[in-house]
Amino acid sequence: MGKRTRILEQIKAGELPASEYAKLGFDGQNGGNLFEELSALEKSDREILAQYPVSMVQSAVAAKLSTSKFAKNRFNWNIQHILACAAVFCLALMIPFFVTKGSSAKMSEAVGVTLESATDESRAKGVGSRIYLYKKVGDNAVKLSDSDSVSAGDIIQISYIASGAKYGAIVSVDGNGVVTQHYPEYGYTSALLETNGEIPLDYSYQLDDAPSFERFLLITGDKPFTVSGIVDAVDSFDNKNMSIKADFSMYLPKNTKITELLLLKK
């Protein structure tokens, strides 16, 4: 996604005022009219969603799951490219989640782990939002702790507890300096968080052979926000290993919070 589209996304999300469009040189001879560009962006999104409805994407996923294993949503793909490719390639590479929503009893029996319920969450108010990672081991899911060791090929399930936060985004950064978006699936803007206890994402994630580490970040806020600043920051690092210790809060909008887990690659 280019800088112009990124700025438009931020203005659309209400993170930047409309005046920033002109300040950055995207008016007059360099780009024309903000209203027209925002309208075109909205129209394009609607057309893509109409062309690739949920039912079509689901059919493509089902048809391809038997031959493909995983996919990453890269930040350098804009929403139009992702949606256009989803029905053919991208979503066909994802794998169904192995930690699923359901009662604690069924969860424990099915995958060997019990998710926290809404009652647990209400008791945890004040603790803050949390992110959890599970590794698939056979037919079970093993909860991971910060700095646990993992290997390329491991399948990781991500879940979160909102704990009062309204909007959120989940990304990861690996030892190659690649930023991967996990939630929401598309775009730079945060999404509404579910609040009924621990919420697993709809698809698991298979670790590639990136060296050293994989750092998972849950960013939350009371208003919609974008996370493009993290991408810009990682791109600017001369040494990509800086991502393992970087304070990403300084690259995010004000009034957002980060909770994270670090996995170390063997």
Q: How confident is the model over 175-194, as pLDDT tens digits?
A: 999 999 899 987 778 999 99
pLDDT at 159: 94
Query: 4-8, 150-154, 242-246: which range is least confident on average?
Result: 4-8
pLDDT at 70: 34
pTM: 0.63
Q: Is omega for the bond preceding 211 within 30 degrees of 0, making it cis? A: no
**Does the pLDDT at position 111 exceed 50?**
no
Between CA 73 and CA 35 the distance in angstroms is 29
Q: Cα 244 from chain centroid?
A: 18
**Does the pLDDT at position 66 exceed 60?**
no
Residue 171: closest CA among 126, 211, 200, 214: 214
Between CA 204 and CA 155 the distance in angstroms is 7
Query: What's the mean pLDDT when you consider all of the chain?
Result: 74
